[in-house]
Chains A and B, each alone.
Chain A
Amino acid sequence: MKKWMKWVIALAATVVVFIIGNTAVHQWAPSHTVGAPSGRIVVPFWHAINGPNGKTLEAMVARFNKSQKKYWVESVYEGSYSLTQSKYINTLHSNVSPALIQIDQGNGATTLGINNYVPAQEFIDKDGYDLSQIYTNVLNAYTIKGQLLSIPFNSSAAVLYYNQDLFKKYKVPLLPQSPTYSQIANAAKLLTQRSGDNVKGFTMQIYDWLADELVANQGGELVNNGNGRTAVATKANVNTPEMRRVFTWVQGMIKDGSFQNYGTGSGASANQMAGFVSGKLGMFMQSSAAMGTIAKSAKFKFGVTFMPHPDGVPANGVAIGGASFWITKDKPAAVRQGAWEFAKFAISPKEQAAWQAATGYIAVNKNALKEPVLKKAITQNPGLLVPVAQLQAAKNNAATAGPFYANLNQAAQFITVAMQQIYAGGDINKALSTAQQKTDQAIQATNAVDYDLLKFDHIGQ
């Protein structure tokens, strides 16, 4: 009996220690994902933004949570866009799935196919929200059959960054607002030669999106059926003249020795950024969202231009990158309303102004430009206006609306492999035709089983 008591006491003590420890650690830990105040409606929110921009987004969430007493947005970083999207589908209708999720533009088709969303249009109509304050080009990216599916939040486009101090030091002419391939190649060569190979002129990260943007800038569509926007895409356009022009240009610079290959993945983008801010790299292309980081860490004057276009092919403008907020259907109405309230908060002029000023994402709200915080940021860094100008100069067509098909993640992988082969000196035509073939196969395989999900007949009926 006595021994028995001892065990019970030991067990009870363990349980008590566990409960106290568990509560203490969870309360104390510097984590944003735990501990909503009681009485609030919790809105689980998944996003895919890391690094300094992620911190900016967390701050926005904190402001929203402070601004009212009804809802509590719990934001969690879930990894890359594709990982976030995959996790969303993997946890569909489970206890952990989010009420609000940030989905990148390229994953829209799948999210639409999953059909677990409340169209943004519904909330907009109900609230009488004035959509005219949002850029039309941005809305186009998220509109299918005239219906806005999701709420554009972080819009970006690829731009080209270059180190003006290096250009001046080596007496290389500065770049025009919309440079051509040969102007870039020439500048890269001069920088590399005149610096005695201390500086590499140019890089293009092995990142499918950059290739996609360069294709859009030539007016090229990445899949058939109007970039997948008039009907479900059935065929990819990978081995196209547009794509080949891009890589012929890149291979030329690799042969010149004026190109630095940083590889692929998040490590590559960090190394490329490190190379640029330490003055070892003259030019590179990246999302306009990288501007905040560059402005903070570059100790030199940097320039920003539109994405380059081939000589003799006029610039068509690039597709809107970035992502939008989707509100999920399988949560209680109050939670869905909370998700919409936060989304509305996030695209308000004030928040978008702060967002663009800090990150370089293009404010989706036109009125953001009137906010003092953004005005001030633009005076300090006129480069912030370049992506906006590029957006406004872009033609209004399917190429700039961006691709809309379900196999984008897979296709990205195939294009990445093709880029790796091409950068290693492989034959462009061969690499691209393999990627083309694989993407087509993937699309066919997906359509064979998923066509009924993916076709967007339910919209506008």
Chain B
Amino acid sequence: MVSHNETAVPATATPTPAKRHPWWRSAFWFLLPSLVIMTVFTYYPMVMTVFNSLFATNLTGAAAKFVGFGNYVTIFSDPLFFKSLTNTFIFVACDSVGVILLALLLARLATARIRGAGFFRTAFASTMGVSAAAASILWIFLFNPSVGLISIGLKQLGFGNVNILTDPTGAMIAVILSSIWMGSGFAFLNLLGALQSVPQDYYDVASLAGWSSWRQTWKITIPMVSPTLFFLIVVEVIGAFKTFTQIDLITGGGPDNTTNFIAYKVYQDAFNYRNIGIASAEAIVLTVIIAVATWIQFRYTERKVYYQ
């Protein structure tokens, strides 16, 4: 398994000779707890999900009949799954772009060296302290057709009695809006950290040169924080693909499956309709999407780590 000898890092740079440890003192024991948990709750279930995706399962959830890639064929020929995928992609795009833009705006405003900046930073970051479930309750309240301020506001603007959540487009917008709100605190904090590391001299010089603040943003800020931006985009995209809580609480995937995003569909097919085979195939599709996004992120963070 794991070798028993250990050296201080790295071997060549160590003045002391490498100590030999008996097997029971090897690195193995440091890794064992994590390895056990990961094997049981990550590797094994992943393998099982692949396995299940190749079977038709009966109503108790047990694999009943080998169907090869049949479940994949089924989901990819199901317009509902396509709708789910398409709408997931629409949501992911709107949500990530919205979060990043909002966070950029907030971070740009909050970096100003003024009195009370700390208070505003806390205010802007506050949404990160609000869980998705609690946030969903707050937003359900805003969207409620009879008592919600958004509905009341729309009515006063002459839109009449709108029930945002029963309208397909409205529900999509509602989920996007609330998700942007939920995600903005995290993105803001990250961008704030990055923005604060941009030397103020750059802006001072640019101001002297008569650059507008827009030009400063595009020519100085964005390039300087681009690593963080890139990191954030990937993280947001991955997070958005897994969106679940808001859906379960605010729309339940409806109306007309408009907000039945892929992570929610996996849950519904598995735990409500007990269609384990289909749900597993869908879960694998989700995994591939996430894996690609994460891989992009890894390649990037790896580089960044070397620079540190």
Contact = CB atoms under 8 A, between A and B. Distances in A.
A contacts B directly (C-beta below 8 A):
yes
B252 interface: yes
Contacts of A263: 163, 165-166, 254-255
Interface stretch (B8-16, B58-66, B109-117, B296-304): B58-66
B59 A264 contact: no
B56 interface: yes
Contacts of B57: 449
Contacts of B257: 417
Nearest to B278: A445
Contacts of B242: none
A449 B252 CA distance: 28
B58 A90 contact: no
A82 B272 contact: yes
A410 B273 CA distance: 7
A421 interface: yes
Nearest to B270: A90
Interface string A85-125: 01001101000000000000000001001100000000000
B166 A449 contact: no
A330 interface: no
Interface stretch (A25-33, A265-273, A333-341, A363-371): A265-273
Instruction: Name B's interface SS.
Output: loop
B256 interface: yes
B146 interface: yes
A449 B55 CA distance: 10
A271 B145 CA distance: 8
Given A86-B272, A264-B166, A417 B59 contact: no
Interface residues of B, number: 24
A347 interface: no
Instruction: Name A's interface SS.
Output: helix
A113 B146 contact: no
B272 A92 contact: no
Nearest to A448: B56
B274 interface: yes
B61 A420 contact: no
Nearest to B272: A86
Contacts of A378: none
B28 interface: no
A58 to B, nearest CB: 24
B56 A449 contact: yes
Interface in A393-450: 406, 409-410, 416-417, 420-421, 424, 445-446, 448-450
Contacts of A92: 60
Interface centre among A92, A449, A453 (most CB of B within 10 A): A449
Contacts of A265: 252, 254
A450 B58 contact: yes
A86 B59 contact: no
A200 B262 CA distance: 37
Contacts of A417: 256-257
Nearest to A419: B256
A195 B110 CA distance: 53
A378 to B, nearest CB: 33
Interface string B4-43: 0000000000000000000000000000000000000000
A83 interface: yes
Given A417-B257, A449-B56, A262 B61 contact: no
A267 B140 CA distance: 10
Nearest to B163: A263
Contacts of A445: 56
B271 interface: yes
A92 B61 CA distance: 10
Contacts of A89: 59-61, 274
Contacts of A86: 271-274
A406 B59 contact: yes
Interface in B57-108: 57-61, 64-65
Interface string B212-256: 000000000000000000000000000000000000000010111
The 9 A-B pairs of least Cβ separation, nearest first, read A263-B166, A420-B256, A449-B64, A449-B56, A449-B58, A450-B58, A450-B59, A86-B272, A420-B255
16 contacts: A89-B60, A110-B59, A114-B60, A262-B163, A263-B254, A264-B255, A265-B252, A268-B166, A271-B145, A271-B146, A271-B163, A424-B168, A449-B57, A449-B65, A453-B58, A453-B59
Interface of B: 56-61, 64-65, 140, 145-146, 163, 165-166, 168, 252, 254-257, 271-274
Given A86-B274, A90-B274, A206-B255, 6 more contacts: A89-B60, A114-B59, A409-B273, A420-B254, A449-B57, A449-B64
